[in-house]
Structure 1
Amino acid sequence: MPADRRACAALWSWTLALGCLLGLLGALLTNPAQADTRLDERTAAVPLYGHVDYLLDPRDEWALDDVLDASAPWRPSSERRDLGFGYVSGPVWLRMRVVSHAQTTHSWRLELDYASLDDVRLYDVGADGVRESQGGDTLPYAQRSISHRTPVFEITLAPGERRTLYLRVSSQGSMTLSGSLMNLADFERHSQVSYIAHALYCGVLVALGLYNLLLFLALRERPYLNYVLFMIAFAFSVLSLNGLGAQYVWPQAVPWSNRILPISLTLAALLAMIFARSFLDTRQWLPRLDRVLIALSCAAALALLGTMLLPVQNALQTMSLTGLLVTLTLLISSFVCVGYKVPGARLFALAWMMLLSGAVLLALRNFALIPSNFMTLYAMQIGSGLEMILLSFALAARFNELKRQKEAALQLNEKVLAQRVAERTEALETANRRLRDMALQDPLTGLANRTALQQQLEQALARSQRSGQLLAVMLIDLDGFKPINDQYGHAFGDRVLAQVAERLRYALRESDLPARLGGDEFVLVCETVLSPELATQLAQRVLQVLGESMSLEGQAISLGASIGIALSLGQEDATELIRRADAAMYRAKAAGRNRIELAPLPD
C-alpha cells in the first residue's frame, strides 16, 4: 500500500507539473512578446515592423495600466503583412522593448512615417517611471515633443538601461504606423533628405503654378487659370499629407487641421473636372461626355460639402472614393478624346495615368489593402508631380495645336476669301464688259452705236493716214421703212431693223464695222479699200442683200436703201467724213432712191 500511495503521489506531481507547463505555454502563445531590441552607437535604423507588438483597442477602453497588465492581448507585428491597419475605430497600441549597449548615455529618435496621424502618445516606461511625450497633426505645432512634420519622439538610454516603449495612436484617417528607431545623426540626415525632397516637390508646384498664371495673364486662356486653381487646391492637400502645412502654413489651425486634407483633396477633384472640361473643350467636341462631366462635377461638389460636415473618418473615406472616381473618369474621358483627336488629349491622358496610379496606390494603402512603404506612402506626391509637369506640357501642346489650327483656318479663310474676291472681280469685269458693250452697242440691233462709231471711225482715220490706204464710209437710209412701221407697228418695225442688221453683217467683210445711227439709218466703216470702184462694188452687194424679200410673221417685206459713200485718206475728222457721206446719201434719194451715190475725194 505505501508503494501504491507513493506511485499515486508521483503521478499527481507529474500531472500538476505538466498542467503548469501547458498553462505557461498557453500564456506564452496567447500573450507573445518581442525580444529586446539592442541599441548602440553603431545601430542602423530599426524599423518598427517586426520589432514591436500591437494591440487593437476598438472601444477605446484601454489605459496605460491596462496595457501594462500581463494579460493584455498583445500580438507580434510579424504576424501581419505590415503596420498599415487602414480605417479602424479606436486607438492602436504598439509596444517595443529596447536595451542600450552604448558606452555612454545616448539619444535615439522614434519616428512614424505618416504625418496625418491625429494623436500619437509615447509612454516611455523604465525603472524611473513613465516619460510621456505627444505628437500628431491635431496638436498645435508648438506643443509637439519634437518639432518635426511627422510624429517624432526622443528616446534617451543610459548604458545598459532597459526600457519599454508604448505608443498609443488614434486617428480618424488611415492608421499607417510604419516608422523607425534611429540614432540622432541618422535621423538628422534622414530629415534633411526628406525636407529637401519635399521642398523640391513644392518648388516644382510653385514654379509651374506661377508660370501658368503668367501665361493666363498674357493669353487670357481659361484652361491656364483652371490649372492654377487645381494646383493650389492640390498643393494644400499635399502639404497636409506630408505635414509641412501643419508645420509652416497652419501651425495653430486646430481642430480644422484634421479636415484640411479631405477638403482640399476633394476640392482638387472638383477643380480637376472643371479644368478637364475647359482643357478638352468637351462642350464643343463631345457634348454627351460634357454632360457626364457636369453631373460628376455636381457629385464632387456634394462630396466637398460632405467633407466639411461628415465625421473626419467618413470625410477621409469620401475623399478617397471621390478622388478615385474623378481620376478614373477623367482618364477614360481623355482616352475618348484621344480617339476624337482633341488637341492635347494624349498628354492629358498620360498625365492622369500618372495621377491615377498615385491615387490608387494611396487609396489602397489607406484601406490597408497593400503594404505601406516608401512608394505607397509617397505615391500621390510622385504621381501628382509627374502629372503636373505633363499637364503643363499638355497645355503648351494644346496651345500650339490650337494656334496651328487657327493659322490653318485663317489660311483657308484667306484662300476662300481670295477665291471669292477673284470670282467677284471676274464677275465685276464681266459686268463692266457688259456695261461697256451696252454703252457701245445699239440695244435693238446689237450693232455699234453712235459712240462706238465715233471711236472706231477716229481710229480708222488714223490708220488710213498712216498707211495711205482708202477708207470708205457708207451711210445707208432704208427706203420704204416708214410705211411698214406705220402699218404693222413699232414692234414689227424693230424686228425688221434687227433683220437688216443681220443682213449687213452677212454682206460686209470681217474687218468692216456696221453701226446704227438711229431710226432706219446705218453706217458702214470699210478700211483698206483699194479703189473707189471696189467701194462701189461693196455698196452694190449691200444694196442687193437688203433688197431681197424678208418674211416676218407671215408677211413678205421688201425694202430698198439709198447709200452715200465718202472716201478718205485720213486728212479729215470723223464728223466731216460722215457729213460728206450723208450728203451723198441725200443725193441718191433725190436721184430716185434705192441707189448708190459716191462723194468725190476732197482736194
Structure 2
Amino acid sequence: MSFVVHVFYRCGLLLCIWLLTPTAAQASPLRLQDVNQPRLLDSAFAMLRDPSGLLSLPEAKQLTFRPIDHSEALHLGYTTDAIWLKLQLIATANAPAPWVIDFHYGYLDQLDAYIEYPDGHTVHQRNGFAMPPVARAIANATPAFWLTLPANEMVTVYLRAQAYGSMTLNATLYPQLAFHAHSNRNLLFQVIFAGMFLALWCYNMFLGLVLKQRPYLSYSAFLLVFGITTVTAIGPGSLYLWSLLGPVINHVVPTGYSTAVVLALLFARDYMATKQRAPVVDMTLKWAARFCAVAALATVILPVQIGVQIMSAIGVSIAALMMWCGAFGVYRHIPAARYFLIGWMCMLVGTAMVSLRNTGWLPDNFITFYGMQIGSTIEMLMLSLGLASRFNEMKHQKEAAQTALVNTLTQQESLLEQKVLQRTAELETAKQELEKMVNRDPLTKLYNRNGLEHLLEAAYLRARQQQRILALLMIDLDDFKQVNDCHGHSMGDHLLQIIAQRLNSCAVDNDVVARLGGDEFVLLSDRYHDKPTLQQFGQKIKQILTQAVLLPNGRTVKIGTSIGICFGDPHLVDSSSLLRRADSAMYLIKHFEKNDVAIDDMRRRASS
C-alpha cells in the first residue's frame, strides 16, 4: 500500500513540475572555438526548479529546462528549491584536457555534476561547502568539477544544486592551466585578506595587553571571530576546518557572524565610553547585545537556512545602529568617533549590498559579491586608526588636565601648605614640577643660577673622571639698558630671548647654557683644551650674538658683547674659582674695551 502511495506521489509531483514549467526551447550547445580562453557559462545554462528537492536525474531529464537569458537569472537568493542546470558543450579538435567548471560562489552547500559522454557513460562528481574536502571532486575554495571534452562531440552536463544560504550559480569554464592561475589569484586575494585580519588582531591584542585598555581587547575578540568566519565563508576556511568541526561547519557562518555582531556591540560600548558619556545609548547597545546573543544562540539550534537569514537581518540592522552611535559620538565630540562612523558606514554599505544580493534584489558582480569583505576591510582599518587616535586624544586630554592641575597647585601653594596632610599626593606632583621651574629661567627657558650650580658640580665630577679641561664663558650684553629705555622692557625681553636662542645654537653635546640674571649669560664646555681654540670659540660667539636683531616693533638694534673666559683643570681648580675668574675677566673687558673676549688661564696659576 505504501508503495502505491509513493508511486502516485511521484507521478503527481512530476505532473505539477511539468505543468508549472514554461515551455521553451532548449539552450543551444556552447561551441568552444578558442579552447585556450575561459568561457562564462551563464548564458549557456538551461534551468529547472525542483521545489520538492526529490527529483532524480532521469526524472529531471524528462522535464523541460528553461534557457537562461542573462546572468542575473542564476542569482536566486534564499530558496529551499533544488536547482537543476543543463549545459551542452562541443569543443574543437585541439581542445586541451581536462577542463574545469568553477562556480563563483563558495557558500553553496551541495552540488552534484552528472557528465554524459557520447559513448553513453555518465560520470558523477560531488562538491560543496557542506561536504568533506576528501569527498569533493576538486578541493578548492569554490565548488569545481573536472570535465573532459572529446573533439567535435557534444557532452551534456547536468548540475544539481542546494544551498542553505544564497543560491548564486554563476560559473566559468576554464582550461586546466587557466583554472590553476585563477585559483592562485583568488587564493592570493584571500590570503591577503586573512593576513590583514591576523596582523590587525595581533596588533590590537598586543596593545590591549600592554596598555590594559578594554577597547583594544574587545576589538581583538571581534576581529578574531569575524576574521575566522569570513575566511570560512569565502572558501579556504572550510577546507581546513572540516577535520575539526565536521558537519557542524554549516553553522559556522551564521553563528560566527551573529557572534561577531555581539562582540561589535560590546566594543562600541567600550570605544565610545557610552556608560559615562551617554547612558541612554549605552542601555540601547546593552539590550541590542543581549538580543543578538539570543539570535546567535538560535542560529546554532535552528536550521542553517533560517540562521543565515537571521544573520543577514541583524547584520544590516546592527550596522545601522553602529552608524547612528558613530554620528552621536561625532555630535558629542567623543574622541575618534569620526573613524568609528566612517568604518561602520563602509561596513553597513558592504553588508547591505551582500544581503540585498542574497535576497536577489541586487545583481551579482564583484562589488556585491565581495561587498562585506571590502566594507569590513575598510572598517577594520578605520577602527584601528580610531583606536590609535582615541588613545592619543585621551593622552593629550590627560596631559592638558595634568598641566592645568599643576598650574592650579602652583597658584594655591600657600593653601596646599596648610592642607599638606590631606593632599600629600597632589603636593608631591606640584613639588616635582616646581623643582623643574626653580632651575629654569622663565623668560629664556635657559638654566638659571640655581640650575647652573647643580649642573656645574655634575660637570666638575664628569671632567675629573674623563680627565678633561673645563672652560666657562661669562657673557654680558653691552648697553642693554639703552634698549629697555628706548624701546621698552617688552622689546628688551624679546632681545634676551633672541640672544638665548643664538647662544643655544652654539652649544653642543654636554655644553651648558644659563642666564644668571639681567643680561648676563654663561656657557660651560669641556670641549676645548688650549687657549687659541678657546679664543676662536669666544670670537665666534661674539660674532653671532652681535648680529642685528629685528624687534617686534619694526626697529632694528645691534648691541655689543663682552666675554670673559676662564678655563682650568678640575682637579686643581674648584667651580667657584672658575666662575669668579670668568666674571672678573668679563668685567675687565666691559669696563675698558667692551665688545671683546678675554681669557684667564687658571692652569698656569694653579701650576705656579
**TM-score over 0.5 for the pair:** yes
Residues 24 and 65 in structure 2, CA contact (< 8 A), matched pair in contact too: yes
Is 2:190–2:231's contact at 8 Å kept on the other side of the alignment? no
Question: Which of 100, 103, 109 is residue 94 of structure 2 equivalent to?
Answer: 103
Match for 1:100: what amino acid?
A: A
* SS of residue paired to 2:26: coil
Contact 2:22–2:66 (8 Å) recurs in 1:
no
Aligned match for 2:79, one of 88, 102, 109: 88
* Post-superposition CA distance 1:372-393 (Å, at most 9, x none): 1121111111111111111110
Matched, 1:34 2:30: no
Higher mean C-alpha deviation, range 183-192 or range 315-324: 183-192
Of 120, 125, 134, the residue aligned with 2:111 is 120
SS, match of residue 64 in structure 2: coil
Residues 1:46 and 2:39 are matched in the alignment: yes
| CA-CA distance at 1:249 after TM superposition | 3.3
CA distance in structure 2 between the partners assigned to 1:209 and 1:79 by the alignment? 42
C-alpha separation in 1, matches of 2:72 and 2:358: 14
| Counterpart contact for 1:347–1:390, Cα < 8 Å | yes
SS of equivalent to 2:25: coil
Give the aligned partner of residue 53 of structure 2. 60
1:241 aligns with 2:239: no
Counterpart code for 1:257: I
Check if 1:335 corresponds to 2:327.
yes
Q: What is the aligned counterpart of 1:361 among 353, 358, 369? A: 353
**Among 396, 409, 416, which residue is 1:404 paired with?**
396
CA displacement, residues 419-461 of structure 1 (integer Å, 9 cap, x when unaligned): 2224556999xxxxxxxxxxxxxxxxxxxxxxxxxxxxxxxxx
**CA–CA distance in structure 1, aligned partners of residues 247 and 371 of structure 2:** 27
The answer on 1:209 being equivalent to 2:228 is no
Q: 2:381 aligns with which of 389, 396, 412?
A: 389
The residue aligned with 1:163 is 155
Using a 3 Å threshold, how does the CA distance of structure 1 residues 427 and 392 change in structure 2: closer, same or farther? closer
Q: Which of 229, 243, 264 matches 2:221? A: 229
- Map 1:524-603; keep pairs closer than 5 Å: none
For residues 347 and 222 of structure 2, what CA distance do their matches in structure 1 show? 13
Contact 1:33 1:53 in 2 (8 A): yes
Given that 2:35 and 2:91 are in contact with CA atoms closer than 8 Å, whether structure 1 keeps it comes out as: no
Does structure 1 conserve the Cα–Cα contact (< 8 Å) formed by 2:241 and 2:249?
no
Counterpart amino acid of 1:199? V
CA distance in 2, matches of 1:80, 1:216: 47
**How big is the shift at 1:184?**
1.2
- 1:252 Cα deviation after fit: 5.4
Alignment RMSD, CA only? 2.1
How far apart in 1 are the matches of 2:224 and 2:188? 20
The 5-angstrom pairing of residues 165-180 of structure 1 reads 165-180=157-172
- Give a deviation string over 1:160-195, Cα, whole Å, max 9, x none: 121111110011111011121111121111111110
Distance 2:266 2:362 in 1: 31
Aligned residue number for residue 195 of structure 1: 187
Residue 65 of structure 2: aligned partner: 74
Report if aligned partners of 1:105, 1:158 keep a CA contact under 8 Å in 2: no
Taking structure 2 as the reference length, what is the TM-score of the superposition?
0.64
User: Which residue type is aligned with residue 111 of structure 1?
Assistant: D
- The residue type equivalent to 2:107 in the other structure is S
**Structure 1 residues 348, 192: closer, same or farther in 2, change over 3 A?**
same
- Deviation digits for residues 88-122 of structure 1, max 9, x if unmatched? 11211111110111325622110111111110110
Q: In structure 2, how many angstroms separate the alpha carbons of the residues matched to 1:289 and 1:122?
A: 52
The Cα shift of 1:253 comes to 2.6
Aligned counterpart, 1:568: none
Partner of 1:555: none
Instruction: Check conservation: 1:102, 1:159, Cα contact below 8 A.
Output: yes
Change (3 A) 1:276 1:427: closer
For 1:157, what is the secondary structure of its paired residue?
coil
Distance apart, 1:311 and its partner CA: 0.9
Equivalent in the alignment of 1:286? 278
Instruction: Tell me the number of residue pairs that the alignment of Structure 1 and Structure 2 aligns.
Output: 401
Classify 1:256/1:292 alpha carbon distance in 2 versus 1 (closer, same or farther; 3 Å): same
**Structure index of larger Rg:** 1
1:78: Cα distance to partner? 0.8
- Aligned: 1:319 with 2:311: yes
- The whole-number CA distance in structure 2 between the counterparts of 1:236 and 1:40 is 42
Q: Which amino acid aligns with 2:279?
A: P
State percent identity of aligned pairs: 32
| Contact 1:212–1:224 under 8 Å retained in 2 | yes
Give a deviation string over 1:41-92, Cα, whole Å, max 9, x none: 53522222211011111111321001211xx131111167341101111211
**In the alignment, does 2:370 pair up with 1:378?**
yes
Distance in 1, matches of 2:290 and 2:149, equals 56
Q: In 2 relative to 1, CA 40–153 (structure 1 residues): closer, same or farther, beyond 3 Å?
A: farther
Match of 1:8 in 2: none
Q: CA deviation at 1:337?
A: 0.8
With the length of structure 1 as denominator, give the TM-score of the two structures. 0.64
SS in 1 for 2:266: helix
Query: How far off is 1:364 after superposition?
Result: 0.6
| Kept in 2: contact 1:56–1:92 (CA 8 A) | yes
Please state whether the residue corresponding to 2:138 is helix, strand or coil: coil
Instruction: Give 1:258 deviation, angstroms.
Output: 0.7
User: Equivalents in 2 of 1:38, 1:376: separation in Å?
Assistant: 30
* 1:109-164 Cα deviation digits (max 9, x unpaired): 10111111110110111223211000001111111111211100011012112111
Indicate if the aligned counterparts of 1:121 and 1:135 stay in contact, CA closer than 8 A.
yes
Q: Is 2:261 the partner of 1:264?
A: no
Aligned mates of 2:52, 2:171 — CA distance in 1? 25
The whole-number CA distance in structure 2 between the counterparts of 1:347 and 1:102 is 59
Say whether the 8 Å CA contact 1:34–1:76 is kept in structure 2: yes
Amino acid at match of 2:28: A
The code of the aligned residue for 2:152 comes to G
Q: Runs of 5+ in structure 2 lacking a partner?
A: 1-18, 421-608
Could you tell me how far 1:31 is from its partner in structure 2?
Answer: 3.1
Change (3 A) 1:60 1:401: same
Note if contact 1:83-1:372 (Cα within 8 Å) is conserved in structure 2.
no
Instruction: Measure the CA separation in 1 of the matches of 2:56 and 2:86.
Output: 14
Aligned equivalent of 2:344: 352
State the AA in 2 paired with 1:356.
L
Separation in 2, partners of 1:420, 1:360: 58
CA contact (8 A) 1:105 1:159 kept: no
Q: Structure 1: how far apart are the matches of 2:194 and 2:301?
A: 29
2:141 is matched with which residue: 124, 135, 149?
149
Superposed CA offset, 1:229-287 (max 9, x none): 00011012111211111112334533111110001000000000000100010111111
Q: Aligned in 2, Cα 1:287/1:372: closer, same or farther, shift over 3 Å?
A: same
Q: Secondary structure of the residue that 2:74 maps to in structure 1? A: coil
